[in-house]
């Protein structure tokens, strides 16, 4: 369960990546929603010692490195890339201790270099901003750096690409640990898409960019609004005023997946939310999400998520219910301090 997050900062801090991690995890949304308040702490080499940023401002962390010792997640923001030996050794040691005890390590953009300097990328799949990918691979040759993804989830190591991809990785981690309902509330209040890719694979292999064609954008919106309906490539191509062959080629070029793959992934995403938040039967969810049959639904869901719908419901629906009961029974003043 995602409960406590500590964010270590050093000189040369990137303000945007610091801000996005703080926005996702640091705000108390329990006062107006069912999102639990995280125990969020910003730490530095010393408490109250100012840290410089790349934009001429300063951040003053309220905690020293001891705040990292028991956190569920260590969220490492981007900072100016420097030689490995110039990262503070006491911070690298704190990161190693966190990894050894099983904490989740989350990096935004060039924050991956700090994890690499601590020896935590060796043999692991990871990513960073495309501009730094070759340098990260050169420094840490056993790391499996993928420059073409929004983020990589390797269990207790989640690394993201540049800038806004840190939002994608953070929301993915919330969704993975707390479910889609909570992630969607945070995304909606941030006014960002809850998920920019179409799936929930361990590796986000084909990030979906904004489509450059208004016609394709209209078709995507049309499909998303009518997930329960049957769609064919021919009918969608006609709506886009293209031939079927041209439409299919353009769709793959823009999204990285075929129209039917994109549609199936969106249906699975909707089904996840239904499994978490409703008592509808598997058959009812299959029909409402456009799968046609429970058997087809189970096939697509298991392939996309990795577990069967019934197992997913047992895990996430129970966690969401327990969390909401806890929020309802806990005085508001105690939510932020809860650990």
Q: What is the CATH number of the domain that holds 18?
A: 3.40.50.880
Which of the listed ranges 5-9, 163-167, 181-185, 189-193 does the model predict with the highest average pLDDT?
A: 5-9
Same domain, 118 and 245: no
The answer to whether position 308 is within a domain reads: yes
Same domain, 160 and 178: yes
Same domain, 59 and 166: yes
- The catalytic residue positions are 109
Same domain, 224 and 285: no
The answer to whether position 201 is within a domain reads: no
Same domain, 177 and 239: no
Tokens, residue 210: 């904004």
Using pLDDT thresholds of 50, 70 and 90, give the confidence band for residue 332. very low
Q: Which of the two residues, 214 and 242, has the higher pLDDT score? A: 242
Is the pLDDT assigned to residue 315 strictly greater than 90?
Answer: no
Mean pLDDT of 51-79: 97
For residue 256, how many other CB atoms are within 10 A of its CB? 17
The answer to whether position 9 is within a domain reads: yes
Per-residue model confidence (pLDDT) at position 150: 85
Mean pLDDT of 214-241: 89
Alpha-carbon span 158 to 209, nearest angstrom: 21
Which of the listed ranges 85-99, 174-188, 210-224, 289-303 does the model predict with the highest average pLDDT?
A: 85-99
The answer to whether position 66 is within a domain reads: yes
**Any bridge partners for residue 8, and if so which?**
43
Share of the chain above pLDDT 70, in %: 87
CB 147 within 8 A of CB 205: no
Alpha-carbon span 262 to 235, nearest angstrom: 16
Alpha-carbon span 224 to 29, nearest angstrom: 28
Number of domains into which the chain is organized: 3
CB 197 within 8 A of CB 204: yes
Per-residue model confidence (pLDDT) at position 220: 87
Per-residue model confidence (pLDDT) at position 205: 35
Domain that holds residue 230: 214-255
Mean of pLDDT over the chain: 86
The answer to whether position 335 is within a domain reads: no
Q: Which of the two residues, 291 and 312, has the higher pLDDT score? A: 291
Mean pLDDT of 229-242: 93
Tokens, residue 47: 């408490």
Mean pLDDT of 40-65: 97
The answer to whether position 314 is within a domain reads: yes
The answer to whether position 198 is within a domain reads: no
DSSP assignments along 228-255, one per residue: TS---HHHHHHHTTS-HHHHHHHHHHHH
Instruction: Say which CATH number the domain at 293 has.
Output: 1.10.10.60
Among 187-191, 196-200, 282-286, 298-302, the least confident range: 196-200
CB 291 within 8 A of CB 267: yes
Same domain, 85 and 227: no
Mean pLDDT of 20-24: 97
pTM: 0.65
Per-residue model confidence (pLDDT) at position 327: 44
Per-residue model confidence (pLDDT) at position 306: 79
Per-residue model confidence (pLDDT) at position 157: 97
Is the pLDDT assigned to residue 17 strictly greater than 60?
Answer: yes
Is the pLDDT assigned to residue 18 strictly greater than 70?
Answer: yes
Alpha-carbon span 301 to 274, nearest angstrom: 13
Which of the listed ranges 3-7, 148-152, 186-190, 292-296 does the model predict with the highest average pLDDT?
A: 3-7
3-state SS string over 134-187?
HHHHHHCCCCEECCCCCEEECCCEEEECCCCHHHHHHHHHHHHHHCHHHHHHHH
Same domain, 274 and 245: no
Same domain, 33 and 60: yes
Same domain, 321 and 301: yes
Give per-residue pLDDT as tens, 245-304.
Answer: 999 998 888 777 899 999 998 899 889 889 988 899 999 999 999 998 999 999 999 888
Per-residue model confidence (pLDDT) at position 212: 57
Same domain, 248 and 273: no
Same domain, 251 and 311: no
The answer to whether position 151 is within a domain reads: yes
Same domain, 23 and 99: yes
Share of the chain above pLDDT 90, in %: 61
């Amino acid at each position: 369960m995602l409960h406590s997050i500590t964010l270590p900062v050093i000189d040369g801090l990137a303000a945007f990546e610091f801000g996005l991690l703080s926005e996702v995890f640091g705000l108390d949304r329990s006062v107006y929603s069912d999102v639990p308040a995280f125990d969020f702490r910003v730490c530095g080499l010393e408490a109250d010692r100012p840290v410089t940023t790349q934009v001429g401002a300063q951040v003053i962390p309220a905690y020293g490195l001891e705040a990292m010792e028991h956190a569920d997640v260590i969220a490492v923001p981007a900072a100016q890339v420097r030689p490995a030996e110039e990262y503070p050794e006491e911070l690298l040691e704190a990161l190693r201790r966190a990894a050894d005890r099983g904490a989740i390590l989350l990096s935004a953009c060039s924050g991956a270099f700090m994890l690499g300097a601590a020896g935590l990328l060796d043999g692991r799949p990871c990513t960073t901003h495309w501009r730094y990918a070759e340098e990260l691979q050169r420094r840490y040759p056993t790391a499996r750096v993928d420059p073409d993804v929004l983020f990589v989830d390797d269990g207790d190591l989640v690394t993201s690409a540049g800038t806004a991809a840190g939002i994608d990785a953070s929301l993915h981690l919330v969704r993975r640990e707390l479910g889609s309902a909570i992630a969607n509330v945070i995304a909606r209040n941030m006014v960002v898409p809850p998920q920019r890719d179409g799936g929930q694979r361990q590796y986000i292999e084909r990030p979906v960019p904004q489509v450059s064609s208004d016609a394709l954008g209209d078709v995507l919106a049309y499909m998303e609004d009518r997930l329960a309906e049957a769609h064919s490539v021919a009918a969608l191509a006609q709506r886009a005023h293209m031939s079927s062959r041209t439409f299919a080629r353009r769709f793959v070029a823009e999204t990285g997946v075929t129209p039917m793959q994109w549609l199936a992934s969106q249906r699975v995403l909707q089904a996840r939310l239904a499994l978490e938040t409703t008592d509808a039967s598997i058959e009812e969810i299959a029909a409402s999400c456009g799968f046609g049959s429970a058997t087809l639904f189970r096939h697509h869901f298991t392939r996309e998520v990795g577990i069967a719908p019934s197992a997913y419901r047992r895990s996430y629906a129970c966690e969401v219910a327990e969390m909401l009961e806890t929020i309802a029974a806990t005085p508001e003043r105690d939510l932020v301090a809860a650990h």
